[in-house]
Amino acid sequence: MKKLHKKFLCGGGTAFAACCIAAGAVALPQCAEASNVGRRYPSEKHAIVDRVTGRTLTVLTSSAYSDAKPYQTHDTWTSDGDWIVFRSSRGDNGSQLFVVSEVTGDIVQLTDDPTVNTGTANLSRKEMKLFFMRGGRVGTGRTSSLPQPDSAAPPAPRQVVELNIGLLIEDALAGDVEAPEAYERVVATLPEDIHGSALALDADEAHLYLGVSLSPPAPRAPQRPQQQQQQPTTGRSEVDSRNTNPTETREEARARFEAAGKGKSGIRAVDVRTGKITKVIDVDLRMGHLQANPWTPGEIIYCHETTGDAVQRIWAVNADGSNNRPIYAETPDEWVTHETVAGPDELMFNIMGHLPYLREKPTGIAVVNLRTKQMKLLGQVEEDMGKGMQGGFWHCNGSPDGRWAVGDTFKGSVYAINRQTGERTLLTTGHRMRPDHTHPIFSRDSRRVLIQSGLLTNGKSLNLMTVECN
């Protein structure tokens, strides 16, 4: 019979504190090591009906904690199709990784380390495993009420970790969770000179690709006087505010983006089995949105990150560093963004149309063939945002079966587009697009769309929801 983890002996949370008091000094060391890894949270699953479309949405999380899914460039469903991974501040240790069951609504905590980089979560498409990065100094995501470590203390080593979530979920549901280390394997410990903040899993799952910064971060733009008098805004809100300002001229925007996009970046390959790290490529630009083609081994997609428009946004490179190339050679009048692999040979992206001068050219969700370079526009929507600003599609994703595209808009609506007929269907509305965007993505069976929504909280925090596509 397996030995119960110390957390379960002590109960965790408030029960943990009570146990420590009752057990006295002898039991205190055990309680101090308690972890929330494997902790179960009650279901928050319920249904709501969209007031405009009449469609039923399944709400999977509805607490006051902000629950965010991975970016739409990365898998969100586990390999068995039953669980959705997300990051949340529930658990009182900063942002951590969790899974929620679509069927039962059960929520299970996967990590409990303040140095976990929850933005690097990569699910295996073949096994019930999860890869992520951790280490370095504790970030700002940790709950402020928790004691911060001594700044003079050396930071934890940066590591790439493999987590056996299949076994962890099984043990959590059985109430028989072991120590966190029983479910982990350290894939690689990174050298001190490698500062990675992005991770992508190759299609053959033999390698992980690590996006690294080779230059200091760009300085943040100073706040306007009226902003300094308001409540602090998130970086996302500040970027959105500036990028949707109709009074900023095209020339002013270009100068701002040019400054923000300067830097040096690189990609490193990490052998999943041995941990060996090799160089893929270094580039003279600020890199972002690192992703691997889920169907084609050895193909990496990245972008020139400027926090907005770029002269040439989308790039691809082979895993051996060869054939570094632009994807969709855009014109100076186009604002290209939010690219995501939509098939073995396809990349889907948005040509933005939210400012008047952008509508002088065709805009909307587009698909480009990675081999032939042929491009097709799938459609655009018209939105009057007021104050001289237009809306339109913002983010997009393709269904694994190749039949559908999905896109969200500036007003927080989500549309499905039948790629065979061009028919556009409004799925759901009113999702606020704050404190972050909905970032829609299809389920593995191409039947449902998952979003993160500010609907229930009027944009104060995010909840996870799904809606049927067809």
Contact 203, 292 (CB under 8 A): yes
- Is 357 a residue whose pLDDT tops 80? yes
Listed residue (201, 203, 191, 192) closest to 162, CA to CA: 201
| DSSP notation for 278-344 | EEEEEESS-EEEEEE-SSSTTEEEEEE--SS--SS-EEEEETTS---EESS---TT--EEEEEEEET
Listed residue (115, 108, 70) closest to 91, CA to CA: 108
Q: What is the pLDDT of residues 418-437, one digit of tens each?
A: 999 999 999 999 999 999 99
Query: Which of 2-16, 216-230, 438-452 tops mean pLDDT?
Result: 438-452
Average pLDDT estimate for 80-102: 96
Average pLDDT estimate for 144-160: 69
Whether the bond into 356 is cis, omega within 30 of 0: no
* Calpha distance 462→434 (Å, rounded): 8
Which run of H or of E encompasses 260? helix 250-260
Q: What is the pLDDT of residues 313-335, one digit of tens each?
A: 999 999 999 999 999 999 999 99
* Calpha distance 356→49 (Å, rounded): 34
Contact 6, 33 (CB under 8 A): yes
Q: What is the pLDDT of residues 222-280, one digit of tens each?
A: 544 443 333 334 567 889 999 999 899 999 999 999 999 999 999 999 999 999 999 99
Calculate what percentage of the chain has a pLDDT beyond 70. 86
Listed residue (232, 223, 375, 205) closest to 292, CA to CA: 205
Calculate what percentage of the chain has a pLDDT beyond 90. 79
- Supply the pLDDT for residue 137: 78
Average pLDDT estimate for 396-419: 98
Instruction: Find all residues with CB under 8 Å of 54, minimum gap 6, and list them.
Output: none
- Is 131 a residue whose pLDDT tops 70? yes
